[in-house]
Amino acid sequence: LEQMSGGPITKKKKFVQDGVFYAELNELLTRELAEDGYAGVDIRQTPLRTEVIIRATRTQNVLGEKGQRIRELTSVVQKRFGFAADTVELYAERVVNRGLCAQAQAESLKYKLLGGLAVRRACYGVVRFVMESEAKGVEVVVSGKLRAQRAKVMKFKEGYMIKTGHAVNEYIDTAVRHVLMRQGVLGVRVSIMLPHDPTGRQGPSTPLADVVQVLEPKPEDYM
């Protein structure tokens, strides 16, 4: 993002600038692609251009007819962040397993609630779908004015869920959404504990710290 500031910048400012860029871009795409199963964004910096990879469950909708929508988004990003022509490129990547993506599930729950489905039924539907997608555990929290005037919190859990330690950063995928209902705003939080996957595709490749593998003893050679 050096070209945006018009000169060399300190490391501290660069990290702040990169963070602000990511936050603003994520907010823009979350609002724009909410109905297309938006599931996050990755930014890759190369010497010639900045590549923005949009992860979504319905990539065809993100690309649009003959790639028109992705071109429009590229133009918006280029103008908003002051990129020079042809220095920013947007790509769409399909989410392999949407049942293990917290953002996709939170968005799905949001539209279920807006459609008038009962909170308990909508949440249990999400919990079941996530567990069927081979997640280790899931927790759905909905808070706000659920039925009566008094606000309350409802929690739906299943499986195994860790809350502390470094493993949380790798194993837990969390997403928060605000649902603008007629009676007030509901808060929705979906946390999914991903399964261990040595290939690193479905979940983290590093095993949990407390998983101990007992190896078979080697046969001893007696003289």
Q: What is the pLDDT of residues 156-174, one digit of tens each?
A: 999 999 999 999 999 999 9
H helix or E strand, kind and range, residue 71 = helix 68-81
**pLDDT score at 1:** 54
d(CA 47, CA 135): 38
pLDDT for 122 beyond 90: yes
**pLDDT score at 4:** 54
Q: Are strands 50-56 and 88-94 parallel, antiparallel or unpaired?
A: parallel
Is 137 or 1 the better-scoring residue by pLDDT?
137
Of 98-102, 122-126, 136-140, 154-158, least confident by mean pLDDT is 98-102
pLDDT band at 153 (very low <50, low <70, confident <90, very high): very high
pLDDT for 95 beyond 70: yes
The answer to whether 7 and 1 have CB atoms below 8 angstroms apart is no
**pLDDT score at 155:** 95
Of 84-88, 151-155, 161-165, least confident by mean pLDDT is 84-88
Q: Kindly report the pTM of this predicted structure.
A: 0.80
The answer to whether 34 and 107 have CB atoms below 8 angstroms apart is yes
pLDDT for 152 beyond 60: yes
Spell 45-60 as b/e; 16+ CB within 10 A means b. eeeeebebebbbbbbe
Q: Of 71, 142, 129, give the one whose Cα is nearest residue 100.
A: 129
pLDDT for 6 beyond 80: no
pLDDT for 3 beyond 70: no
pLDDT for 92 beyond 80: yes
**pLDDT score at 223:** 61
